[in-house]
Amino acid sequence: MEIRVLGCSGGIGAGLRTTSFLIDHDILLDAGSGVGELTLDEMAHIKHIFLSHSHLDHIHAIPLVVDSVFDRIDAPILIHALPDTIRALQEHIFNGIIWPDFTRLPHPERPVLRFETMEPGEVVALGERQFEMIPVNHIVPTVGYRVTTPSGVLAFSGDTTTNDTFWAALNAGPRLDMLIVEAAFPNAERELCRMARHYSPEMLAEDLAKLQHRPHVLLTHAKPGAEDKIFQEARTLLAGYDLDHLTGGERFTL
């Protein structure tokens, strides 16, 4: 399994792209502005998009992708997400006002986009790759994912704060090689993290103590301008972990 970091920022700015990870050549985990790093040919290879939640920084490339490649693909792109997330996309994005309803275009019998609901605990198998939806704790209904392949196991937290569900689910699996987990604000913003339901390094360290595995930990979703401080604080608190912070453009193989 190959993982390409298209976007990993909690905001925008020169060189910053919001959350999106390309799995192999055909699957996206979230679809923020990082998807714009792909060429048209690469976009046309996308078959599945697994969404963590409905917030704009995680979904806003979807309308532009389908509009850009609808004449290049012969089967609809499948969006896998919670029912609440799909409902938000239908009512607020693909509503004919903000953007055309591509679940009916270019023809109702041959749409370029299709929604597939998932529930926490459900697993979607795509060849040898299994995507398991895991509930987390954010301000809107949100999930993370465990991606299991014969060669390695990846987990992605989505946006979340202190919780037990994500860590219990990961502990229930026999293996975890890589963990992409958010740390959005520095420790001084702990109260803001509680309100917005994000992690600070201190809060993340408290929850990582629940994890029985020792994966390579990759920090994501830092707010612009706070990246170095967040990583410095995390490195101090998580000294026993193989820890890095994502900046965009990285490629990993499991």
- For the chain, 254 residues long, the average pLDDT of each consecutive 10-residue run is 98 96 98 98 98 98 96 96 98 97 92 97 98 98 98 98 98 98 98 98 98 98 98 97 97 97
Task: State the pTM of this model.
Answer: 0.98
What is the three-class DSSP state of 230? helix
- The residues pairing with 91 across neighbouring beta strands, listed in sequence order, are none
Reference 133, options 195, 84, 205, 60; nearest CA is: 84
Contacts of 252 (CB under 8 A, 6+ apart): 2, 3, 178
Reference 90, options 67, 57, 59, 50; nearest CA is: 59
What is residue 181's predicted lDDT score, i.e. its pLDDT? 98
Vertex 47 angle, CA 41 and 49, to 5°: 110
Average pLDDT, the chain: 97
Domains in the chain, CATH or no CATH each: 1-81+83-117 (3.60.15.10), 120-246 (3.60.15.10)
DSSP, res 223: P
Contact yes or no for 202/229 (Cβ under 8 A): no
Residue ranges of alpha helices (H) inside 93-220 are 165-171, 190-196, 201-208
